[in-house]
């Protein structure tokens, strides 16, 4: 194997791993298209195809993958994420919990997530409540 071929294999492998890490680290689809492009270019590098062809194929495959999958993502997955918006919590029920790190504040647990409540009245731990309003990322609740 030539030095340039080895370097290309290493670089494409790093791009693949890096883009997968970026993809897994955030909630948005950001880099999966580049992962596909880098995978195809890695295969070309293994077969010792010229570097400029690898780069052109990387860009081309990434753009084609983006053009094909982005509309599908926008149509299906973005709608799901919008449904998980904090405002969708109005009407949801949960129980008052205490967090060890902030025992002076009150929180309600809804679907496994803890949300700070901003009611003036204090609730006993375990009280069943329903969300009536959202202010920023904090909730107003009433006893159920």
Q: Report the chain's C-alpha Rg in angstroms.
A: 24
**Domain match, 66 and 23 both:** yes
End position of a domain, from candidates 39, 64, 83: 83
**Domain match, 120 and 50 both:** no
Which band of pLDDT confidence, cut at 50, 70 and 90, is reported for residue 78? low
At 6, give phi and psi (nearest 5°).
Answer: -65, -45
**Domain match, 91 and 44 both:** no
**Domain match, 41 and 73 both:** yes
**Domain match, 65 and 90 both:** no
**Domain match, 11 and 69 both:** yes
Q: Which of 46-60, 83-97, 121-135 has the lowest mean pLDDT?
A: 83-97
15 pLDDT higher than 90: yes
What average pLDDT does the segment 64-86 reach?
72
Which band of pLDDT confidence, cut at 50, 70 and 90, is reported for residue 114? confident
pLDDT at 30: 80
pLDDT at 77: 62
CATH number at residue 98: 2.40.50.140
**Domain match, 76 and 117 both:** no
CA atoms within 13 A of residue 81's CA, in its CB half-sphere: 10
Residue range 42-67, pLDDT digits in tens: 999 999 999 999 999 999 999 999 99
C-beta separation of 58 from 13 below 8 A: no
Structure tokens at 68: 């094909």
More confident residue, 7 or 124: 7
End position of a domain, from candidates 62, 83, 104: 83
pLDDT at 82: 47
pLDDT at 84: 57
**Domain match, 79 and 9 both:** yes
Considering the chain, what is the average pLDDT of its residues?
A: 87
pLDDT at 2: 92
- Rounded Cα gap, residues 98 and 105, in angstroms: 8
**Domain match, 34 and 51 both:** yes
Domain count, the chain: 2
- Segment (H or E) for 97: strand 93-97
**Domain match, 16 and 55 both:** yes
**Domain match, 9 and 53 both:** yes
Containing structural domain, residue 137: 86-143
**Domain match, 79 and 106 both:** no
- The CA-based angle 84-133-117, given to 5 degrees, is 90
23 pLDDT higher than 60: yes
């Amino acid at each position: 194997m030539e030095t340039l071929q080895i370097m290309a294999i290493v670089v494409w492998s790093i791009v693949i791993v890096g883009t997968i890490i970026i993809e897994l680290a955030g909630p948005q689809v950001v880099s999966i298209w580049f992962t596909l492009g880098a995978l195809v270019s890695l295969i070309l590098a293994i077969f010792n195809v010229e570097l400029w062809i690898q780069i052109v194929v990387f860009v081309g495959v990434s753009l084609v993958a983006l053009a094909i999958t982005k509309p599908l993502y926008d149509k299906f997955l973005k709608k799901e994420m919008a449904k998980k918006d904090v405002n969708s919590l109005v009407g949801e029920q949960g129980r008052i919990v205490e967090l060890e790190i902030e025992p002076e504040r009150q929180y309600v647990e809804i679907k496994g997530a803890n949300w700070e409540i901003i009611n003036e009245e204090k609730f006993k731990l375990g009280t069943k409540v329903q969300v009536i309003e959202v202010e920023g990322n904090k909730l107003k609740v009433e006893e159920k």
